[in-house]
Structure 1
Amino acid sequence: MAGRRLFGLSAAALAAAPLAARAQSFPARPLRLVVPFPAGGASDIIGRTLAAHMAETLGQPVVVDNRPGANTAIGAEAVARAAPDGHTLLLSTPTTLAIAPHLGTPLPYRVEQLAQVGLVVRMPFVMVSSLLYPPDTVQAVIADAKARPGAVNFASHGRAGSAHLVGELWRTAAGVDIVPIHYTGNAPATVDIVAGRVQLMFDGSPTALAAHRNRQMRALAIMSERRSPLAPDVPTMEEAGLPGLTAYSWYGVSAPAGTPEPVMARLEGAVARAVADPAVRNRFIADGLEPTPMDRAGYVRMVAEESDKWRRVIEPLKGQFE
């Protein structure tokens, strides 16, 4: 009996040995950080800033691999199907983990195929209006929308995209009937806001606050817990009369499910050190982002909460996405 127990313990130790060896030698080669967006945008800048710092910590290059398309699904699939050894990572977003799974369209990956490493930054949304639209506060917009149901519209960057869903979230919270106008991206939507052909838009803080400072649009409220240091004159949505209404895009790091625990711990530490670095933090803050260090357990909880939040927004709209 003792011999059988000893054999069992020896077999378990032998099985664990390759995992331990792999963890000790990690990283054995350059890492790849898949960014599921084109080069040059805010997501790409976040990915490259993070990759550069992680390379210093891990002692291996971290190469950014832009894999845009299919609402982040192409990049997510590439990581979900990669070897679970920690050398292939994903810059994960709400679209990938909390929105796309509820849209009812088939995905080439499952959220369960991705293990969460940690959160990096959040980007609050900002409610902006055309300078040619007279209401200049959130409450004035609500009053106008209630007086003219269906007459006020908001620009989205595409059906079921973040700007669309944030607009729907705001519409429900405000109890008004405003109509989405769908564009093929941010640029054409911005042109029509500036020209006054569309009244409202819900945009990410870097572009929205820059447009506000340049007097191209009017920022009515930021959808974060506190005001932005880049635009201290812009109230939070709570200050504007809609308590508890926040909406963020966010960026974290995910790895293929099944990545060994010691490797995950090393990656978690590298991400945390990057977000804590003053130079990295200052770069993010200057871009209108909120550095938000969050460990694996916290990121898993946040993803679950965000998934439930966006599921409740999407369910009444599903007929629009088919």
Structure 2
Amino acid sequence: MKATRRGALAAAATAILARPAHAQAFPTRPLRLVVPFPPGGTTDIVGRQMATVMSETLGQPVVVENRPGASTAIGADAVARSAPDGHTMLIVSSTTLAINPVISRRLPYRPEQFAPVALLLRMPFVMVTAPSWPPTTVQEAVAWLRANPGKANLATHGRAGSAHLVGEMFAAAAKVEMEPVHYAGSAPATLDLVAGRAHVMFDGIPTAMANSRGGQVRALAVTGTRRSHIAPDLPTMAEAGLPEVEAYTWFGIAVPAETPPAAIARLHGAVMAGLRSEPLRSRFLADGLEPGEMSTAEFAAMVESEKARWRGVIEPLQLQID
């Protein structure tokens, strides 16, 4: 009996001591990073760059898998159903976790099915206008729009997309009316802005500043919390008198909700190492992107604030898709 009891205690002690070693062994096999966008786009490129540098830190390959469609819902659903062991990650965005849950009637996943890991980057929008349109500042634009309600077209990249919602956020804050005109992306929207058929658009800062420097559009303000280092002369919306107009497109990494905290911590460390690496960091900064510098807890808090922000924009508009 005593020998049996001693053997049982020894086995239990061995199991307890083995647990930390097992946790530290993560990852134990190649990882999968699901990108819910088509190959070749900005998010795909960022995902592949991060996969490369994360592989070096984690000691295992990080394989990118594109699962585009349904405004990121197809890829999100696939990851939500995967094993919560840290080996399957998803690139998430404001669309995935903050906009889709409010705007979609038939979403196949719930935000609660994901645990935030790390913010990859944020990208502010820029308010750009047709060069032929008289206003040259945000204040002048607001005055013109109030004097001419409904006479300006708001060019968007698609109905209920982030560029559309930022435009509606601006209209509500400024108490003005614009007619949304939905295009299949930034390029055709910009063409009509250049031609004067549209008047106002909110575009991502890399494209907006490239078009502004080329004289195709007029840039008025950024929607970030501070001026951009690639456009230091451009005021923020807060400086222009509209602090409510604060908006970013952002991308981060999330995993299934029941993933062990130790795995999440290891993944977060790999992302931070990647964001500090060169030339990746310099490439992001050169485009006006803001690399993520948040803890996992800070990123989770940001996601919650983004849910509230976009719900406040969407619900008054009664926008629904599906």
Q: TM-score, normalised by structure 2?
A: 0.91
- Whole-angstrom distance in 1 between the partners of 2:280 and 2:163: 27
Match of residue 246 from structure 1: 246
In the TM superposition, residue 129 of structure 1 has moved relative to its aligned partner by: 0.6
Aligned partners of 1:74, 1:104: CA distance in 2, in Å? Answer: 13
**Separation of aligned partners in 1, 2:165 and 2:111:** 20
* Alpha carbons of structure 1 residues 311 and 15: separation in structure 2 relative to 1, 3 Å: farther
Q: How far apart, CA to CA, are the structure 1 residues paired with 2:121 and 2:252?
A: 7
Deviation at 1:216, TM superposition (A): 1.2
- Cα deviation, 1:117-148, whole Å, max 9, x if unaligned, reads 01121000110011121211111111111111
- Over 3 Å counting, the alpha-carbon distance change for 1:170 and 1:10 in structure 2 is farther
Q: Is the 8 A contact 1:153 1:181 kept in 2?
A: yes
AA matched with 2:258: G
Partner residue in 1 for 2:23: 23
CA gap of 1:19–1:37, structure 2 versus 1, over 3 A, is farther
Aligned equivalents of 2:264 and 2:214: distance in 1?
43
Change (3 A) 1:296 1:201: same
What whole-Å deviation, never above 9, does each CA across 1:252-273 have from its counterpart, x for those lacking one? 1101111112111111111122
1:151 has 2:144 as partner: no
Q: Which runs of 5+ in 2 are unaligned?
A: 1-8
Question: What SS class does the counterpart of residue 224 from structure 1 fall into?
Answer: coil
- 1:209 aligned residue: 209
2:37 maps to amino acid:
F
1:189 counterpart SS class:
helix
**Distance across 2 between alignment mates of 1:10 and 1:146:** 79
Q: What residue is the counterpart of 2:228 in the other structure? A: 228
Inter-CA distance 307–58: structure 2 relative to 1 (3 Å threshold): same
Per-residue CA shift, 1:30-84, capped at 9, x if unaligned?
2111111122222122212211111110011112212111011011111111111
CA distance in 1, matches of 2:262, 2:16: 12
SS at match of 2:27: coil
**2:103–2:319 contact (8 Å) kept in structure 1:** no
| Number of residue pairs matched by the alignment | 315
Change (3 A) 1:61 1:144: same
Task: Show the 5 A alignment for 1:170-319.
Answer: 170-319=170-319
For residue 18 of structure 1, report the CA deviation from its aligned partner. Answer: 9.0
**Identical residues among aligned pairs (%):** 58
Q: Is the 8 A contact 1:115 1:256 kept in 2?
A: yes
- Does the CA contact (< 8 Å) of 1:58 and 1:270 recur in 2? yes
User: What is the CA deviation profile of residues 146-187 of structure 1, one whole-angstrom value per residue up to 9, with x for unaligned ones?
Assistant: 111111121111111101110111111111111211112222
Counterpart of 1:307 in structure 2: which amino acid? K
- 2:32 match: 32
- In structure 2, C-alpha distance between the alignment counterparts of 1:132 and 1:170, rounded to whole Å: 21
Query: Quick check: 2:153–2:197 contact (8 Å CA) kept in 1?
Result: no
| 2:316 partner amino acid | P
Q: The residue matched to 2:120 in structure 1 has which SS?
A: strand
Cα shift at 1:300 = 0.9
Letter in 2 for 1:245: V
Show the 5 A alignment for 1:15-164. Answer: 23-164=23-164
Structure 1 residue aligned with 2:5: none
RMSD (Å) for aligned C-alpha atoms: 2.3
- On the 8 A contact 2:169/2:313 being kept in 1, the answer is yes
> What amino acid sits opposite 1:300 in the alignment?
A
Distance in 2 between residues matched to 1:77 and 1:127, nearest whole Å: 33
Q: CA deviation at 1:243?
A: 2.8
How far residue 20 of structure 1 moved from its aligned partner, in angstroms, is 5.2
8 Å Cα contact 1:159-1:321 kept in structure 2: no
- Contact 1:159–1:182 (8 Å) recurs in 2: yes
CA displacement at 1:294 relative to structure 2: 1.0
Any idea what SS the aligned residue of 1:294 has? coil
Given that 2:124 and 2:222 are in contact with CA atoms closer than 8 Å, whether structure 1 keeps it comes out as yes
CA distance in 1, matches of 2:92, 2:316: 25
CA gap of 1:118–1:13, structure 2 versus 1, over 3 A, is farther
